[in-house]
């Protein structure tokens, strides 16, 4: 390439410089930028683009967990359960409901893993429908594996039929598809609000209404939406929801999940895993299972306290920052990533497997290229750029609004371009 050519308008070098200037501007104008310094590792050169699989820890979490070990666990020992820990699943659940889910108190509890919570909710929903003519569960082939597998297992246990929606893999389930799939034989519909691969943001209120019009109940998986998009469970009249706390809520590896059950279902419902912690008066240890009143009846075994302590730090930050501002930043981050994709990766044959319409997009983008393999991502990791690989040919670039900077996005996209020889 001649020197003369490099000086003309649209050369790669010039675009690089413009994006660098823009990333710096976006970071300096970002009203949430100061939150980044609260996270461990954000002062290193690493570009972390996988907070949607495992969020970064807060610096505060190291202190909170250390203090818990010394003062609470070490100091209070078994007394801690009565003094505070037994109430944490509901107390943190209420905070999560308020800060993240749009849920009034008494409907959210922290427990188990998402897989187990979904099992409990789907079985409870089926029991609530309790109509032999409704023998179908509607779900989609693009949902996260655990969601599909466990519904397949429940269908086998209960003799149900599965009705599969086939969404656009680069998009997601639409209201029209739900209207077509759900009908007089539908008992339960299980969907993800944000698709784990494409980041498609489903129209939760309209789909919930469509499911109800069909006389069925809906279970929403919020793993990729909790902490990234605004969610109004009560306003939409959602029946049930579950989600992870180790993704955008930074609860740490294996931190417990959350379950939401709309209060209109709480009086009558039973979940299928009867454990002592969900029993009325657990420490009575009496014969026979009688569920605790309200959302507590959705607990089964001993609560996982460490993960709740870790997620509380993030919930405090979210309440301060507000989900509205977090969603705004998320859209700026993904919008910037899409612009860089168009300029740098599309010319090298990459395809955007994420909706371009910001209203239909969660907080990551997925880039497909026939040359992307696990080894591509391993190479990126070796160079301190950490996205993740999604088969068959996708690199998923996750953007956590409280901890990701625009500079980090640019650094990551430049490394991906370099892997493609650009």
Ligand X SMILES: *Cc1c(COP(=O)(O)O)cnc(C)c1O
Are 58 and 39 in contact by the 8 Å Cβ rule? The answer is yes
Stretch that binds ligand X, among 180-188, 217-225, 268-276, 401-409 (CB under 6 A): 217-225
Q: Which is nearer to ligand X, 255 or 405 (CB)?
A: 255
Residue of 246, 258, 372, 406 marked active site = 246
Retrieve residue 413's tokens. 């996209």
Contacts of 214 (CB under 8 A, 6+ apart): 179, 182, 183, 184, 186
Burial of 328 (0-12, 13-18, 19+ CB in 10 A): middle
Active-site annotation holds for 382: no
Q: Among 24, 146, 263, 373, which residue sits at the site for ligand X (rule: CB under 6 A)? A: 146
- Least separation in angstroms between CB 221 and ligand X: 5
Cα distances (Å, whole numbers) of residue 337 to 11, 16, 36, 84, 346:
19, 13, 18, 43, 12
Distance CA 91, CA 106 (A): 9
Q: Is 191 left (phi over 0), alpha (psi -120 to 50) or beta?
A: beta
Measured in whole angstroms, how far is the alpha carbon of residue 233 from the centre of its chain? 15
Active-site annotation holds for 39: no
- Least separation in angstroms between CB 54 and ligand X: 10
Q: Is residue 115 a contact residue for ligand X (CB under 6 A)? A: yes
Query: Is the N-terminal amide bond of 8 cis, ω within 30° of 0?
Result: no
Q: Is residue 196 a contact residue for ligand X (CB under 6 A)? A: yes
Q: Is residue 50 a contact residue for ligand X (CB under 6 A)? A: no
Burial of 382 (0-12, 13-18, 19+ CB in 10 A): exposed
Stretch that binds ligand X, among 111-119, 338-346, 356-364, 406-414 (CB under 6 A): 111-119
Q: Among 136, 142, 203, 221, which residue sits at the site for ligand X (rule: CB under 6 A)? A: 221
Q: Is residue 300 a contact residue for ligand X (CB under 6 A)? A: no
Q: Among 47, 114, 363, 405, which residue sits at the site for ligand X (rule: CB under 6 A)? A: 114
Residue of 56, 247, 332, 419 marked active site = 247
Q: Which is nearer to ligand X, 30 or 50 (CB)?
A: 50
Q: Which is nearer to ligand X, 58 or 257 (CB)?
A: 257
Q: Is residue 258 a contact residue for ligand X (CB under 6 A)? A: no
Active-site annotation holds for 144: yes
DSSP E strand boundaries for 75-183: 108-111, 136-140, 161-165
- Look up residue 386 and give its DSSP letter: E
Active-site annotation holds for 342: no
Active-site annotation holds for 396: yes
- One DSSP character per residue, 259-271 reads EEE-HHHHTT---
- Least separation in angstroms between CB 314 and ligand X: 16
Q: Is residue 144 a contact residue for ligand X (CB under 6 A)? A: yes
Q: Is residue 42 a contact residue for ligand X (CB under 6 A)? A: no
Q: Among 47, 61, 107, 192, which residue sits at the site for ligand X (rule: CB under 6 A)? A: 192
Catalytic residue numbers, as ranges? 144, 221, 246-247, 396
Q: Which residues bind ligand X (CB under 6 A)?
A: 113-115, 144, 146-147, 192, 196, 221, 223-224, 244, 257
């Amino acid at each position: 390439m001649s020197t003369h050519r490099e000086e003309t308008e649209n050369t790669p070098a010039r675009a690089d410089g413009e994006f660098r200037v823009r990333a710096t501007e976006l970071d300096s104008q970002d009203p949430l930028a100061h939150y980044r310094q609260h996270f461990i590792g954000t002062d290193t050169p690493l570009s972390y683009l996988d907070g949607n699989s495992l969020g970064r820890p807060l610096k505060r979490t190291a202190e909170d967990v250390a203090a818990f070990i010394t003062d609470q666990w070490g100091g209070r020992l078994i007394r801690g359960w009565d003094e505070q820990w037994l109430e944490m699943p509901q107390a943190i659940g209420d905070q999560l409901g308020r800060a993240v889910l749009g849920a009034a108190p008494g409907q959210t509890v922290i427990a188990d893993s998402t897989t187990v919570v979904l099992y409990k909710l789907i079985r409870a929903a089926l029991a609530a429908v309790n109509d032999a003519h409704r023998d179908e569960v509607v779900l989609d082939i693009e949902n996260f594996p655990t969601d599909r597998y466990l519904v397949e297992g429940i269908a086998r246990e209960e003799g149900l039929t599965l009705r599969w929606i086939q969404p656009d893999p680069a998009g997601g389930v639409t209201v029209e598809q739900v209207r077509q799939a759900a009908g007089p034989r539908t008992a339960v519909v299980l969907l993800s609000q944000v698709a784990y691969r494409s980041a498609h943001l489903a129209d939760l209120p309209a789909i919930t209404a469509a499911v109800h019009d069909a006389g069925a109940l809906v279970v929403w998986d919020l793993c990729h939406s909790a902490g990234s998009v605004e969610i109004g469970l009560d306003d939409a009249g959602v029946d049930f929801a579950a989600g992870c706390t180790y993704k955008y809520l930074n609860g740490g590896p294996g931190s417990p999940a959350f379950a939401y059950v709309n209060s209109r279902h709480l009086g009558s419902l039973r979940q299928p895993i009867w454990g002592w912690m969900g029993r009325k008066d657990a420490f009575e240890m009496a014969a026979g299972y009688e569920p605790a009143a309200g959302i507590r009846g959705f607990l089964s075994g001993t609560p996982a306290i460490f993960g709740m302590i870790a997620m509380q730090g993030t919930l405090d930050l979210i309440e301060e920052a507000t989900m509205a501002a977090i969603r705004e930043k998320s859209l700026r981050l993904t919008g910037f990533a899409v612009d860089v994709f168009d300029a740098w990766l599309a010319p090298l044959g990459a395809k955007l497997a994420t909706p371009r319409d910001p209203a239909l997009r969660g907080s990551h983008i997925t880039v497909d290229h026939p040359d992307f393999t696990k080894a591509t991502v391993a190479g990126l990791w070796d160079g301190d750029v950490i996205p993740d690989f999604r088969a068959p040919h996708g690199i998923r670039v996750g953007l956590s609004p409280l901890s990701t900077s625009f500079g980090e996005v640019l650094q990551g996209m430049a490394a991906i371009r370099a892997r493609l020889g650009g």
